[in-house]
């Protein structure tokens, strides 16, 4: 397996397939690069080089105790892109990975990034504050932490079988393989990293990152996203970005990259080629 070592000695696992213009995929919490299988296969078959890493503490990367914050996440991505000398790259981030993309592109992307795509992404900020009165209250995220600490395995199962893919909606048909794969990815990671990561994805303010991004950026979100409500994320991010395109998908859930991969992949490809 392929690893790079960051400046603080953390080993980051990555997958690197194909050749051509690089597309870098940034996964959501608490998953791994495997969550991008449908997109990586699609793009490598269309002639692109595809790269996906496991965030520190997630998947096959080192289960270190510290550094589970957006600054370290972005620096780790920079270490990967520098080690592989990726240029003219398109960075695609889902959920927490969208925050990671925003911070990476803003801080390290000059002369390396061609475009960015945020899918069901957490920016500008999820938490309710005086500056963000429509955000989610801290009690929501405290609930995540309490459930993780009490019984992480059951918590992950409940998230995957319920709101993440919209399987809790009337008429939805749960896909057991998808649920089990989500659970597998989550349980392969570190409980400490996932616990700390809740603060990273919920409390980080990406407003200045978004405002400083100058590359074309596509913002994609389902309007039935029960994890990251689109009105306080996608709609606000599109206003903050200098060169944004916005696509809102009626009825699509947070995990739409899996449940509606046929639709999302074609839209991703069209933007990458545009």
Residue 193 to residue 199: CA distance in whole angstroms: 10
209 has catalytic annotation: no
95 has catalytic annotation: yes
Helix (H) or strand (E) holding 167: none
The residues, ordered by sequence, that sit 6+ positions from 236 with a Cβ below 8 Å of its Cβ are 124
Q: Of residues 54, 76, 209, 225, which has the active-site annotation? A: 225
DSSP of 18-48, one letter per residue?
--SSEEEEE--TT--GGGGHHHHHHHHHTT-
Work out the burial of residue 19: count CB atoms within 10 Å of its CB; fewer than 13 is exposed, 13-18 middle, 19 or more buried.
Answer: exposed
Q: Is the dihedral of CA 57, 100, 128, 140 positive or negative?
A: negative
Q: Which of 233, 249, 272 is nearest to 117 (CA)?
A: 272
32 has catalytic annotation: no
Q: Is the dihedral of CA 31, 227, 157, 199 positive or negative?
A: positive
Residue 101 tokens read as 């993309």
Q: Of residues 68, 91, 194, 254, which has the active-site annotation? A: 254
Tokens 């709101």 belong to which residue?
Answer: 163
Q: Of residues 95, 190, 202, 233, which has the active-site annotation? A: 95
Residue 259 to residue 169: CA distance in whole angstroms: 13
List the catalytic residues: 95, 225, 254
């Amino acid at each position: 397996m392929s690893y790079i070592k960051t400046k603080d000695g953390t080993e980051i696992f990555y997958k690197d397939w194909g050749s051509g213009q690089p597309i870098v995929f940034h996964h959501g919490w608490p998953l791994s690069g495997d969550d991008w299988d449908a997109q990586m296969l699609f793009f490598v078959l269309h002639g692109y080089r595809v790269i996906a890493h496991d965030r520190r503490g997630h998947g096959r990367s080192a289960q270190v105790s510290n550094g589970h914050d957006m600054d370290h996440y972005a620096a780790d991505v920079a270490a990967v892109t520098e080690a592989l000398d990726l240029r003219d790259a398109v960075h695609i981030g889902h959920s927490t990975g969208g925050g990671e993309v925003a911070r990476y592109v803003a801080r390290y992307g000059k002369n390396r990034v061609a475009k960015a795509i945020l899918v069901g992404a957490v920016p500008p900020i999820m938490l309710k504050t005086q500056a963000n009165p429509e955000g989610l209250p801290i009690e929501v995220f405290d609930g995540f932490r309490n459930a993780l600490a009490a019984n992480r395995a059951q918590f992950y199962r409940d998230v995957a079988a319920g709101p993440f893919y919209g399987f809790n909606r009337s008429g939805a048909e749960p896909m057991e393989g998808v649920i089990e794969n989500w659970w597998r990815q989550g349980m392969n990671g570190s409980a400490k990293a996932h616990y700390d990561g809740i603060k990273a994805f919920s409390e980080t303010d990406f407003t200045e990152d978004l405002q400083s991004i100058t590359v074309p950026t596509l913002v994609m979100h389902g309007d039935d996203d029960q994890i990251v409500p689109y009105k306080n994320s996608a709609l606000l991010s599109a206003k903050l970005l200098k060169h944004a395109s916005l696509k809102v998908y009626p009825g699509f859930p947070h995990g739409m990259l899996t449940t509606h991969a046929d639709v999302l992949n074609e839209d991703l490809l069209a933007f990458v080629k545009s």
